[in-house]
Amino acid sequence: MKKRVGVWIRVPTKLQQSSDSPEHHLQKAKMYAELKDWEIVEEYHLEAVSGKSVISHHEAQRMMRDIQSGHIEALIFSKISRLARNVKELLEFSDHFQKYNADLISLGESIDTSSPSGRFFYTIISAMSQWERENIVERIKSSVEVRAKMGKVMGGIPFGYKRVGKDDMALHEHEAPIRKMMFELFLEHKRHATVANILNDKGYRTKRKSLFSGTTVKRLFQDPTAKGIRRSHMTKIDENGKTVMRDKEEWYIHEAPRIVSDEVWDEVNAIIQKQEKEKIQPLNKKVHLFTSYLFCECGGGMYVPSSNPKYTCKKCKRKIHIEDIEAIFKEQLTEFIISKDEVNRYFDGTNSIIRDKEQEIENIKTQIEKLELKIAKVFELHEQGKIETERFDEYYNKPNTQVQQLKRKIPEIEGEVYALKDQFKSSGYIIEEARSLYDNWDKLSKREKRNIIEIITEKIVVSEQEGA
């Protein structure tokens, strides 16, 4: 079967058309194809088309589609400059032909990539392509750094600001007051989610017209642009194509229009850092001390209605005053703290759970070792010809799947153990410190009291006598 080829005819100007006619190009291509015993099935005419950019021309696009579909297997042209004078486009053509195993034949330079010597052309072109790509990357890097150094605004504009011209930004008349309000709300509520909910309830939206989230609000708090410090040249693309942070020495710092004072920004971020360090969330003001821990004898959960200072059973409506249940808890807490048996029972129980989890990990590791020995035996029997290749998967898949499932369980259980040990340490500290709670209970904050309740309490059941 004859090789199917196309002929590329491009003569840029009318002068060249008269002195170097398309017919002349076509005739040379036909002679070459005849000598090679190839069949010309397509002609691509780009008469009077400049070589500065041809890849978007409809004939060039048709040719590339024909290469992709396999309609033609090679392209004949008079010389490389007739194919494309733009180096970038020449590289794109070359990549396209290489991708679909098609050949480029330049009669003027005697390049025929269907021959061994001609295929060296692709090696050279590939090197040029890599060099060009690296040059582009370096030029972009250099341009980005220069613009950053000059203080030009690049990338997205943060909430609270608007772009002015191409390279600068100013306060946004509507967004800036909202961003300032965020700081004021956080100092009042100390919760990212609460601030986000208030903003959403007021009808405010992000620059992308989306609802605010706690994460978005936190990011805006931590961005120093609000206090007049704009950072640039902070990120780069690593060798894996991922965006990573640069060293701080490479950053550029510029002034920006201020939304809040240094004192407000520092106070908000000090609270955020303290919360992250202590791994605590501010107690929602609507959450009462015993919320989710207090239950009625009938089985119903108890809550505090907004209009009544009493915990009320959702099922039978039994009530107990919030001060009464706190007083009862305080007395019971004193007994718990004073009783060494209760303390030891708590620690023994936690230790027992940790030991059980650690033993479970060891048991899983033992199971994995046995299964891996079984898999190794399967490979050995297969090599000895005792298990046919067609039946190998039948013996291999099941134990291998079990191994993968067990390996996934280990980090899950290890995570539970770490959490239990952390809780054990903090619980021990709090219980030891709480031995004088009876005298100090009334001096504790709501957050501190709630911490004690969360650590030592599983469930509080209110009987008829207590709720009377």
Higher-confidence residue of 292 and 436: namely: 292
For 112-138, what is each residue's pLDDT tens digit? Answer: 777 766 666 656 655 555 555 556 556
Structure confidence at residue 348 (pLDDT):
65
Residue 290 lies in a domain: no
How high does pLDDT run on average in the chain? Answer: 79
Q: How many domains does the chain have?
A: 3
Structure confidence at residue 131 (pLDDT):
59
Residue 305 lies in a domain: no
Higher-confidence residue of 63 and 141: namely: 63
Residue 299 lies in a domain: no
Residue 376 lies in a domain: yes
Structure confidence at residue 282 (pLDDT):
53
CB-based burial, 99-135: b 16+ in 10 Å, e otherwise: eeebbbbbbeeebbbbeeebeebbeebeeebeeeeee
For 247-297, what is each residue's pLDDT tens digit? Answer: 877 777 888 899 999 999 999 999 988 888 766 555 555 568 888 888 998
**417 and 461 fall within a common domain:** yes
Structure confidence at residue 142 (pLDDT):
60
The answer to whether residue 179 scores a pLDDT higher than 50 is: yes
Name the least confident of 206-210, 320-324, 460-464. 460-464
What's the mean pLDDT in 150-163?
A: 80
Structure confidence at residue 15 (pLDDT):
42
Of 236, 255, 278, the domain-final residue:
278
**189 and 124 fall within a common domain:** no
Higher-confidence residue of 196 and 391: namely: 196
**243 and 345 fall within a common domain:** no
Q: How far apart are CA 423 and CA 412, in angstroms?
A: 17
Structure confidence at residue 159 (pLDDT):
94
Structure confidence at residue 306 (pLDDT):
77
Higher-confidence residue of 305 and 465: namely: 305
For 319-329, what is each residue's pLDDT tens digit? Answer: 998 888 888 88
At 139, which CATH number?
3.40.50.1390
Residue 269 lies in a domain: yes
107: its two tokens: 């009669």
Threshold 0.85, pTM exceeds: no
Residue 150 lies in a domain: no
Residue 291 lies in a domain: no
What's the mean pLDDT in 144-154?
A: 64
**364 and 436 fall within a common domain:** yes
Q: At 128, is the secondary structure helix, strand, or coil?
A: helix
**269 and 315 fall within a common domain:** no
**260 and 112 fall within a common domain:** no
The band of 58, judged by pLDDT with boundaries at 50, 70 and 90, is very high
Q: How far apart are CA 446 and CA 270, in angstroms?
A: 21
HEC-encoded secondary structure of 218-250: HHHHHCHHHHCEEEECCEEECCCCCEEECCHHH
Cβ-based neighbours of 73, under 8 Å, separated by 6 or more? 3, 4, 5, 101, 102, 103
Which of 253, 248, 241, 249 shows the shortest CA–CA distance to 137? 241
Of 230, 260, 278, the domain-final residue:
278
The answer to whether residue 404 scores a pLDDT higher than 80 is: yes
What's the mean pLDDT in 54-70?
A: 92
For 356-367, what is each residue's pLDDT tens digit? Answer: 888 988 999 999
Q: At 212, is the secondary structure helix, strand, or coil?
A: coil
Name the least confident of 107-111, 339-343, 352-356. 339-343
For 68-125, what is each residue's pLDDT tens digit? Answer: 999 999 999 888 778 877 777 877 888 899 889 898 888 877 777 777 666 666 566 5
Residue 171 lies in a domain: yes
The band of 199, judged by pLDDT with boundaries at 50, 70 and 90, is very high
Higher-confidence residue of 282 and 331: namely: 331
DSSP β-ladder status, 4-9 and 74-77: parallel
**408 and 341 fall within a common domain:** yes
Higher-confidence residue of 197 and 434: namely: 197
What's the mean pLDDT in 384-388?
A: 83
At 256, which CATH number?
3.90.1750.20
Q: What percent of the chain has pLDDT over 70?
A: 76
**347 and 450 fall within a common domain:** yes
What residues make up the domain containing 253? 161-278
**129 and 264 fall within a common domain:** no
